[in-house]
Amino acid sequence: MTSPYAIAETAEPGIPEGFRRLDAGGPWFRLIGPVYTHPHPAGSVIVALRVAPHHLNMQGVTHGGMLTTLADSALGINLAIARGRRGGQVTVSFTADFLSDAREGDWLEAHVIITRMGKRLAYANCDLKVGERHVLRSSAVFAIVERQLPHASE
């Protein structure tokens, strides 16, 4: 399926092989960037970033809201890819468990699995990981609508 996103073609130094810069999203999503994606065998994309100073809280680890921003965005991006179009989807509910923290310099990856794509509702999970270590488990339900919607995750 053709991705509705523009992906850069060139690799960047310090970024793991196969990851390309994702040039997409509105103002809030861009605050978390730069963000990279990597095609996943299952048809989805891994969304990832290098943890930087602006992602941190006062304790020097990733802020919870930065992690939920990354998860919500990765879910929305993968849903858009699966549907072959952007927009027309809105987050209805979102849950997250915080398993560990991420620190400056960590390569933080969001792995998404869409468990059900219905006509009106879609269900998906997103795990944030640094290597094999779980940082965040999250899941969300999305409403699929034809018109432009609130809460589109970009």
Binding site for a copy of itself (CB under 8 A): 25-29, 31-32, 53-66, 68-73, 76, 86-87, 90-101, 115-116, 120-121, 123, 125, 134, 137, 139, 141, 143, 148-154
CB-hemisphere CA count at 13 Å for 137? 4
In the bound state with a copy of itself, the residue whose beta carbon lies nearer, of 12 and 54, is 54
Closest distance to a copy of itself from the beta carbon of 9 (Å): 23
Q: Which two tokens stand for residue 94?
A: 């979102």
* Cis status, amide bond into 150, omega within 30 of 0: no
In order of 2, 60, 87, 94, 105, the CA distances from 100 in angstroms are 35, 13, 32, 19, 15
Closest distance to a copy of itself from the beta carbon of 18 (Å): 25
In the bound state with a copy of itself, the residue whose beta carbon lies nearer, of 17 and 44, is 44
In the bound state with a copy of itself, the residue whose beta carbon lies nearer, of 18 and 28, is 28
Is the CB of residue 66 less than 8 Å from the CB of residue 131? no
In the bound state with a copy of itself, the residue whose beta carbon lies nearer, of 17 and 58, is 58
